[in-house]
Amino acid sequence: MVPGLKVELVYIPLRCRLQQNTFRSENLLPAVDVVEIAAGKWQALAARLPERGDSYPDLVRHIHDLSSLLLILEGNSVKFQKAALRNEVTEKTIRSVVEEVGEDAWKNHYASYMRRMGTAEIADLPRCHPTWKVVTRGFSRTAELLLNRESTPDADQ
């Protein structure tokens, strides 16, 4: 369980790849691919942040979610790159987004967003929301996955 992880599900015919839900033994329920969701979060950030700065403070949820999904994305880096590296997501916009997220205002946006998410504290402890430092470290690593196409352990996917 990741406190504060927010995933929005939207039905878009023919655009979202489906995979079988591995949490049920019967594999009857299709599930939206988490890697596609992460790619969509990067696309939202790339489309809005480079030109408008922190005009969209609620986009901090995407930064938090991408950081939380890091282990899954590391295990599916080629798939993540193929899904995310299109339209607005370019090397230039990735670097611009990472630079923008490094601005002090985003730390305040994060604290505000986490206060609205519930009662869990922000701390480097179990059952707490991760600190901004932890979130930005994980988020920056997702950017590295997109920028570094050589380190792809799942190249056969």
Burial (0-12, 13-18, 19+ Cβ within 10 Å), 140:
middle
Please report which helix (H) or strand (E) contains residue 64, including its range. Answer: helix 60-68
Q: Which of 67 and 4 is assigned the larger pLDDT?
A: 67
- pLDDT number for residue 9: 62
- For the beta carbon of residue 34, count every other beta carbon within 10 angstroms: 16
- pLDDT number for residue 50: 74
**Global pTM value:** 0.73
Please report which helix (H) or strand (E) contains residue 48, including its range. Answer: helix 34-52
- For residue 135, what pLDDT band results from cuts at 50, 70 and 90? very high
- For the beta carbon of residue 103, count every other beta carbon within 10 angstroms: 12
Measure the CA–CA gap between 100 and 106, rounded to whole angstroms: 8
- pLDDT number for residue 49: 85
Q: Span 45-65, mean pLDDT? A: 85
Q: Would strands 30-32 and 18-20 be described as parallel, antiparallel, or unpaired?
A: antiparallel
pLDDT per position as a tens digit, 69-116: 999 999 999 999 999 998 778 999 999 999 999 999 999 999 888 888
* pLDDT tops 50 at residue 156: no
Q: Span 26-37, mean pLDDT? A: 71
Q: Which of 69 and 15 is assigned the larger pLDDT?
A: 69
